[in-house]
A and B are shown apart, each in its own frame.
Chain A
């Protein structure tokens, strides 16, 4: 969620809470006989409040699993998560009196710091990565479908080349899956490639002689197909837009007129493959921090609960 002017209410409230807590802490810390500690009454209060904030923040994950329960809009929960989660760090610092304490509490403090910092990092990412994704990846698809789309691209490229060169010896997949009506194919028609699972028969089939299509065949089998199979693998010049453009320009001079349309299709396919790689990268960036944030926060809650019980016991 972006921090924009819709967040004003929450931001002001949080700031007010923070100011109140700070004054309370300062007043307490200065007057405490043996200094601020977690076990004193204000320390315990801060600890309970801080843990409460953390639990609420952690419940966001549970909230997302019951999206239709009418227990508050997801946006309200998200705002709460952001601001209360952020507040939990100073509150817990107040709780411990800025001491990190023993083994468990030291670990907890670090878990909290890492969780909050990773959360801030993630929130910052959300301010610009979606926009980058929209502008950089025009042919964006659904992340979970990228594997399928790549497979379809390979098949399409195979067919395009085969239309021109004849069989190239690559095995065909079993029946082509019908795409969901609309959806992907609707998006694909926006691209200039031949659209969907069904190859548009608009291009007149020109079959070149073996000598004529040799450059294409060589290029396709040696460079493009491996690239389409492993687009993230470095080393293929097709991974770079300019180099790919150069490669295709070169090919254009080597192949006769009838194959130009196919070459254009292949170039578009490469472009789409590159875009999918970019989408993967951006998606990993946008969601990767969660791989730190979530496990750490879970460990934090668990160990926090253990700490609360044990600290109260002792």
Chain B
């Protein structure tokens, strides 16, 4: 038995030595690997030296950041961050076919768990450990100081009315609007049920860009190109509102004014009335409409005969009065100066001794406040509506059903997200990386590609 013990020991040692030696001899270092590579690096499974760069004279061949940076750029998260992390601190390789991007919450919590900030960044929550532990309510929904959270948009919308069955036109049938009738992601081409061909075809002088709120600088966006389906496009009048909200300005015309800046509308009105009076010269004789008498106001003369210019101006003023005081104002915020002006015209009901506004009355047009549509409610997160396309809109945006004012922020609160995004196998991914990025991809530098396929397969550059 002693011999057996001896020879078995020798045999086991020899076997181990031969095994390791063989791997050493064939320069196969995979045996030392502590796990398979992630899917993205699987091509490097046998090319240890690509990451484990052996500097001459040094013993250690740890995978240093320099190796990662040979192919990847990892822009810094924050210029002011107190501690720069190495690549491997969050992106651990050799864990098998998992996503290498999927950093653990703890990696983020290293700093955000006890965030040291200075200056204006003090409003960021300082103790975030994970989505479910320490993550504050979304900034858009949080009040800051005395200011409650509110939508900065100036277009007045009452979602609650629109969500109920609503009459499309006076004396028309009730229609039930769907969310998608107004809100669609930008890249989606769909039939707009409530679009108006006149408006969709028209070129507007304002650009959409001017009406939406720009992304805040420094926000950490997503590195991959937008598909265009992530976020909802701003609601456009031509496609969503025009079908119901007519911009009619005068009984004489069926069409409405263009949905455009007041100058354009004014020019349109002048042109339109000018064409009309040219086509109907007899209209210059304006007969008083007793239906339009207002008690307490001096009566208008029975008949007035205006010059065409006067008539156009009068009609334009009337039309603008309607528009500025009702139609446009229904949704837009107009500046108050013009409103007053509009009031004065109506009150006076055209005194004849006033010189007609040939064009000077067109000088004081209202200023329509910028729509200030918020495109991205969560600038620090990469939310993708497309990923949630299976869900009904009101499933998350319940607040829309009851929202009557624009200032309501209809962004679902964090609780809504947490209903699905929570830790555990039966929940959706709730780790930080799912919504946030570390690297500031706006500062991305391009990497010079250096690998050739043959070289990659044989371990060289």
In this assembly, does B72 line the interface, its C-beta being within 8 Å of a C-beta of chain A?
A: no
A135 at the B interface (CB under 8 A): no
CB within 8 Å for A299 and B16 given contacts A31-B106, A294-B9: yes
A34 touches B90 (CB 8 A): yes
B12 touches A101 (CB 8 A): no
The reply to whether the CB of A295 lies closer than 8 angstroms to some CB of chain B is: yes
Other-chain residue from A31, A299, A307 in contact with B32 (beta carbon distance below 8 A): A307
Assess whether B1 is in contact with A287, with CB atoms less than 8 Å apart.
yes
Closest-by-CB residue of B relative to A33 is B106
B60 pairs with A103, CB closer than 8 A: no
Smallest Cβ-Cβ distance to A38: which chain B residue: B34
The answer, yes or no, to whether B15 is at the interface (CB within 8 Å) is yes
- Give the residues in chain A near B92, CB-CB below 8 Å: 34, 37
A310 at interface, CB cutoff 8 A: yes
A37: B residues at CB distance < 8 A: 92
Partner of B61, one of A38, A284, A314: A314
Do A103 and B31 have beta carbons less than 8 Å apart? Answer: yes
Q: How many residues of B contact A (CB 8 A)?
A: 37
Q: Which of B80-114 contact A (CB under 8 A)?
A: 89-90, 92, 94, 103-104, 106-107, 109-110
**Once the chains bind, are B12 and A295 in contact (CB under 8 Å)?**
yes
Given the interface pairs A34-B106, A34-B107, the reply to whether A296 lies near B12 with Cβ below 8 Å is: yes
Please give, as numbers and ranges, the residues of chain B lying within 8 Å of A99 by CB-CB distance.
34-35
Closest to B60 in A: A313
> Which A-chain residue is minimally distant from B8 (CB atoms)?
A295
Q: How many Å lie between the Cα of A298 and that of B14 in the bound state?
A: 10
- Once A33-B107, A284-B1 are accepted as A-B contacts, the answer to whether A298 and B32 lie under 8 Å apart by CB is no
Does A261 sit at the interface, judged by CB under 8 A? no
- How far is the CB of A35 from the nearest CB of chain B, in Å? 7
**Does A311 sit at the interface, judged by CB under 8 A?**
yes
Q: Tell me, yes or no, whether A59 is within 8 Å of chain B by CB.
A: no
**Least distance between B289 CB and chain A CB atoms (Å):** 79
Q: Verify if B198 is at the interface (C-beta below 8 Å from A).
A: no
In the bound complex, what is the Cα–Cα distance between A298 and B33 (angstroms)? 22
Q: Which residues of B contact A (CB under 8 A)?
A: 1, 4-5, 8-9, 11-13, 15-17, 20, 29-36, 48, 52, 59-63, 89-90, 92, 94, 103-104, 106-107, 109-110
Cross-chain pairs A/B with CB under 8 angstroms, 22 sampled: A31-B106, A32-B106, A33-B89, A33-B107, A33-B109, A33-B110, A34-B92, A34-B104, A102-B32, A102-B34, A288-B1, A290-B5, A291-B8, A294-B5, A294-B8, A295-B13, A298-B16, A299-B13, A299-B16, A311-B34, A312-B59, A314-B62
3 A-B pairs closest in CB distance: A295-B12, A33-B106, A299-B16
With contacts A102-B36, A103-B33, A298-B13 known, what are 14 further pairs, Cβ within 8 A? A33-B109, A35-B106, A101-B34, A102-B30, A102-B32, A102-B35, A102-B94, A103-B30, A295-B8, A298-B12, A302-B16, A311-B34, A313-B60, A314-B61
